[in-house]
Amino acid sequence: MKEINDKLIDDYTTMLLIRCFEETVDELFTTGVVAGTVHTCVGQEAVAVGASSALQKTDVVTSNHRGHGHFIAKGGDIRRMMAEMFGKADGYSGGRGGSQLMADYKLGFMGGNGIVGGSIPLAAGMALRFKQQKKSNIAACFIGDGSVNQGTFHETLNMAALWKLPVLFLCENNLYAMSTPVAEGNANTDFAVRAASYGMPGVSVDGNDFFTVKETIRGYAGLARSGEGPAFIEFKTYRFSGHSRGDQRLYRTREEENTWKKKGPLLRMKKYLIQNDVITEDDDRKIKISVRKKVQEAVKFSKASPYPDKETLLEGVYA
């Protein structure tokens, strides 16, 4: 029992860490401390952590432009992530990639992506390789609702199903492709039927409930691992933040935002943990303080880190 509870507390802590990291990043960009643009995932923490909790360490994950949560859930070092936002030498990509392009191949986090839909075939290719090598690992591909209209989505789902590749397409539907509501970009807003049309299981579940996310992924991951092929899972969720820095959120109402905030993943997880005596209010406070401290340390680390040496500009174009 203690083991189960400890794991739950770990997962809840990771969700809080993602929230705090993203809110801090948002503030750093909005106030101009850090230059450029950024896409945060405030409100979508249950998908990232539910997935990492269901998957195995040796599974690989590909991500998209809104990928900090996926990375933290896979074990990313938030100091090096934050330093990358700052464009500093100690960042994961040494300042080359920025917010969208970070990876840690040792952890199996195969990187964020700046092109919507760009990582879909990459993940399937990694799954193809697992299959060729007769390994039982799977590839998990995080995508958003915008990507289901890219050609790579349709082409890759077809090939993944055709060759029964061990890949899961995890679609975070946060209702808006940047500013365009799902219903304005899709003649049929039921994404799961697209999966069915390619001959793979497709389901739609509550993406703000950690337990639903975890159990759904665990089920399909098991099938993929045992050679049953891919699956598509849609997680209904909501990003509390704007699409990126400078988004005035003109395309949605504050009322809608407040409704979703009440259904937020952290509130629900906390409620469950307290009601089931896993943590107390005091524990919750303590976790939040420790998480904030970690993020502040990451900011401090990033500020102290030097900018990459200009002499290194041309390094690494070729392997």
Residues forming the site for another protein (CB under 8 A):
60, 62, 91-94, 96-97, 101-105, 110-111, 113-115, 118, 120-130, 132, 139, 151-152, 155-156, 158-159, 162, 315-319
Q: Which residues pair with 168 in a beta bridge?
A: 140, 231
Closest distance to another protein from the beta carbon of 41 (Å)? 20
Residue 204 corresponds to which tokens in the numbers above? 């739609």
Closest distance to another protein from the beta carbon of 238 (Å)? 28
Do 46 and 213 touch, CB atoms closer than 8 A?
yes
Residue 244 corresponds to which tokens in the numbers above? 């990126």
Residue whose tokens read 């060729």:
132
Residue (164 or 263) nearer to another protein, CB: 164
CA 245 vs CA 33, 149, 175, 178: distances in Å: 12, 24, 18, 12
Alpha-helix residue ranges (DSSP H) falling in the chain: 2-30, 45-54, 68-73, 78-85, 119-132, 151-162, 182-185, 192-197, 210-225, 254-262, 265-275, 281-304
Closest distance to another protein from the beta carbon of 194 (Å)? 15
Residue (184 or 315) nearer to another protein, CB: 315
Residue (122 or 195) nearer to another protein, CB: 122
Closest distance to another protein from the beta carbon of 102 (Å)? 7
Residue (52 or 63) nearer to another protein, CB: 63
Q: How many other β-carbons are positioned within 10 Å of the β-carbon of residue 312?
A: 12
What count of residues does the chain have? 319
Residue (92 or 220) nearer to another protein, CB: 92
Closest CA to 109 of 54, 83, 70: 70
Closest distance to another protein from the beta carbon of 111 (Å)? 6
Closest distance to another protein from the beta carbon of 34 (Å)? 18
In degrees and rounded to multiples of 5, residue 235 shows phi and psi of: -110, 115
Closest distance to another protein from the beta carbon of 253 (Å)? 35
Residue (129 or 268) nearer to another protein, CB: 129
Residue (16 or 102) nearer to another protein, CB: 102
CA 15 vs CA 42, 77, 143, 231: distances in Å: 10, 15, 19, 25
CA distance 102 to 92: 6
CA distance 111 to 129: 17
Closest distance to another protein from the beta carbon of 172 (Å)? 20
Residue (15 or 103) nearer to another protein, CB: 103
